[in-house]
Structure 1
Amino acid sequence: MFSPVMKNALFAGASALLLSSVPALATDITFYYPVQVGGPLTQVMDGYVADFEKAHPDIHVDAVYAGNYTDTTTKAMTAAKNGTPPTVAVLLATDIFTLMDNEVVEPMDDFIKTDDDKTWVEGFMPAFLASAKVDGHLWAVPFQRSTAVEFYNKDAFRAAGLDPEQPPKTWDELVEMGQKLTLKDASGTVTQYAIGIPGNSGSAQWLFGALAAQNGARLMSDDGKTTYFNDPKVVEALQFWVDLGTKYGIHPDGIQQWGTTPQDFLEGRLAMAWTTTGNLTNIRKNASFDFGIAPYPGHPDPASVLGGGNLYIFKDASDEQKAAAFEFVKFMTSADLLADWSIQTGYVAPREDAWQTETLKNYVSEVPAADVARQQIAVSVPELSTYDSARVGQALNDGLQAALTGQATPQDAMDRAQEQAERILRPYQN
């Protein structure tokens, strides 16, 4: 017979043995991400998540494809306001002021403790890291970054008697070459436009930032509190965009859609297409013709615009979830993974060490066009980013579309957009 003390000791020992044999519960984190370019990228992302979970069996990642960038931001903000935010999300770099203003994200500074963490941060390209810093704090880290580039059909250039290795470098050359590249059938209907620049809401402001920069203008101040929509050089840039269609006839009438632009290019309806470098892999896999990627032209100096998404950690997750999310963020921004993501998509790997991996060096050697976007960073400006960015961006998009569809002159459209933006931003200027 065991004494009560012995019984209690045996019971405690058995309980301890039983508990030690049960694996610890995993920390669950939710990861929202968008897909803004063509291709089966959800499968690629699922593969990365599986690799992370294998390396971190104590963390489970619920990866949620949430639509395009706009959809993903809307869903993340709605979830945060309802008390069920994602733990981590890929959202536009330009969302930073809105996310800060709504107090839904945690500064990355809070997680950067070790020398290794500091070295990891220092490895990001300064141009992309700058978009994640506000008021001395790092609020996110770069992930799928880009510059806007020009895809062009080399076969179409040859057919038009143009040098396929010399795409336009200035606005004047764009118009001159564009008139040779625009084709019509016997009835006078255009069968191939020289160029398509997406002007739908959500895309227009990004590509227009490049046009404005090519004309020596900026759309906003660095602190996100002031816009310059009706600056004469900005208005002049919009007039040129409108003229591509109405005056020169080398651009589709009205609004060229972002979502159809890659397919329009692949099917020969456009000889040149302005879009993200993130479409490179999709176009490379599906083009039935010889194509190239070129930097944007200028007036006179070339310029493009930075774009893409950063990784943010949300504030209202538990401490354990945020710590797990930080491990996930570091995994997703490792040199090897970013190199692979760049190859799978065409996005610019935002770390210099990613470009030193054998994987990416071999790819660039095979596909030199993959390096155009990186080389263009030096002449690229930040994308439109302000406080209350959704409303300010919509004001600009509405103005751009009004001008492109002939509902307003570029001057009137930009005057109206600037007036709306000033009213929206006034509370942040005090």
Structure 2
Amino acid sequence: MRSRARIPALALALTALVGLTACGGAGQESPGASADGVTITMWTRAATQAQSRRLVDAYNKTHKNQVKLTVIPTDNYQPRIAAAAGARQLPDVFAADVIFVPNYTAQGLFLDITDRVKALPYAGSLAPSHMRLGTANGRMHTLPHTLDLSVWFWNKDLYEKAGLDPEQGPKSLKEFAEHATTIDEKLGEDGKVHGTFFGGNCGGCYVFTFWPSVWAAGGQVMNAEGTVSHNAEPPMTEVFAIWRDLYDKGVTGPTAKEEQGPTWTGFFPKGEIGVMPMPSTTLGSMPADMKIGVTAIAGPDGGESTFVGGDSIGVSSTSRNPDAAWEFISWTVSDEAQVEVMAKNKDVLARTDLADNKYSSADPRVVLINSLVAKGQTPYAPRFGQTFNDPQGPWLRLAREAMFGDPAKLPQLDADITKSLQQ
């Protein structure tokens, strides 16, 4: 969700593929065929290229079949997919932001892999949010590829200097606000240290970091069909109120209101922020000497949840090598790939049964992050990008009014969100 990518008007470009059968496109091998010595093509977006590259390199070193990976700039990724789909020139395998997978599945861009997934001995342990968004009409089309979770990071050194227990992170959003306020009051005189930070002009940032507090409180931000918004109702309004109070008191720092996303995670690694929501993938890139605590995002009074972001991966419906493609994507969720490639690099795992493994067990923070995969959510909405990610969309208008404007306007702005979701 850190990217600000928007869904283009896919319908015209993708209608050519709607008629494809669930079994795939031209040149499909028989279900039991064994591909050997085949080179398949794969596309991924730049935002997740590091994990994709590690998996592809490890696979190529140990298999006769090979994968040729193409990395496409994130902002150009969806137009490239749309153009390739319309021309029936999709790669054998492609990854996609999990939020947008339902759109691709609805347009028939992925093969139906239901029977193959069910045959995996760990099928029930695959990241549930990713699997849900890749399933349509009871049929599965994708596997989890990369995962990025929203969590709370706290700076233990700043906690200790402010008189807080450095080993105890916040257990509720109210306590989060108390910790942030204490740090700002005790350490913020020079203007370099602030209690917390957020992306105040970034729709995806709000989604990624505020919505888990709603889920942790037992609420929802929209209906299960992704067509009716609940963002002007409690507990969302209570979450907004707590964060607005932090902003009004100056606890969030002077640039939060205009932060559009690209630099919102850049202040914490510099030691300037006491506690804030962060992408889990940033843990591995933090300064080695920085003492960091990690905990689940909580609701106003407790609970825990996370936004399960990242990418899903599937075999394209025009693949000429579907069996070789399946061999690769199924390997990416195997014990070997998940432990020796992903866990070894502190990446979040695509399987809940491997959360505590020989690599992650050395760092309790990684174990905690992996354990949240089963507890978090990935919201479903066919028009998610236009509504929530687009900087000109209705969600950002509502969030900014809630944080910096007139909360009395939220019901009408929420109606605008619902209207966008239903277009």
Q: TM-score, normalised by structure 2?
A: 0.79
Distance 1:144 1:48, change over 3 A: closer
> 5+ unaligned residues in a row in structure 2: which ranges?
1-34
In structure 2, the residue matched to 1:350 is 350
- Shift of the 343–196 alpha-carbon distance from structure 1 to 2, 3 Å rule, reads farther
User: What is the alpha-carbon distance in structure 2 between the residues aligned to residue 340 and residue 258 of structure 1?
Assistant: 32
Unaligned runs of 5+ in 1: 1-23
| Cα shift readout 1:232-274 (whole Å, capped 9, x = no counterpart) | 4323322322222124534553044544344311112212231
- Write the distance in 1 (CA, Å) between the matches of 2:183 and 2:56: 45
Partner of 1:7: none
Alignment of 1:243-392 (within 5 A): 243-247=245-249, 249-252=251-254, 253-256=256-259, 258-283=261-286, 286-305=287-306, 306-318=308-320, 320=321, 322-343=322-343, 346-355=346-355, 360-361=357-358, 363-377=359-373, 379-380=375-376, 382-392=377-387
User: How big is each residue's C-alpha offset from its partner over 1:110-142, in whole Å with a ceiling of 9 and x where there is no partner?
Assistant: x618x7x34242342445433332321112111
SS in structure 2 of the partner of residue 303 of structure 1: strand
Please give the secondary structure, in 2, of the residue aligned with 1:104. Answer: coil
1:62 paired to 2:68: yes
3-state SS, counterpart of residue 190 of structure 1:
coil
SS at match of 1:275: strand
Q: CA deviation at 1:366?
A: 2.1
**Paired position in structure 2 for 1:4:** none
Select the residue among 125, 133, 144 that pairs with 1:131: 133
Pick the structure with more helix per residue. Answer: 1
Would the aligned equivalents of 2:395 and 2:417 in 1 still touch at CA under 8 Å? no
Q: Residues 78-93 of structure 1 correspond to what in structure 2 (within 5 A)?
A: 78-93=83-98
Residue 168 of structure 1 corresponds to which residue in structure 2? 170
Decide whether aligned partners of structure 1 residues 61 and 379 sit closer, same or farther in structure 2, where only a CA change above 3 A counts: closer
Is residue 197 of structure 1 aligned with residue 198 of structure 2? yes
Higher RCO structure, 1 or 2 (CA under 8 Å, sep 6+): 2
Identity %: 19
The reply to whether residue 426 of structure 1 matches residue 419 of structure 2 is no
Q: In structure 2, the residue corresponding to 1:167 is in which secondary structure?
A: coil
Give the direction of change, closer, same or farther, for the CA distance of 1:195–1:122 in structure 2 (3 Å limit). same
Q: How does 1:34-49 map to 2 (within 5 A)?
A: 34-36=45-47, 42=50, 45-49=52-56
Residues 98 and 45 of structure 1, relative CA distance in 2, 3 Å threshold = closer
Tell me, what secondary structure is at the counterpart of 2:196? strand
- Decide which structure has the larger Cα Rg and report it: 1
Query: TM-score under structure 1 normalisation?
Result: 0.78
Indicate conservation of the 8 Å contact 1:150/1:293, yes or no: yes
- Say if 2:229 and 2:415, in contact at 8 Å, map to a contact too: no
Note the C-alpha offset of 1:154. 0.4
Partner residue in 1 for 2:28: none
Tell me which moved more, 145-154 or 84-93.
84-93
Matches of 1:67 and 1:420, distance apart in 2: 31
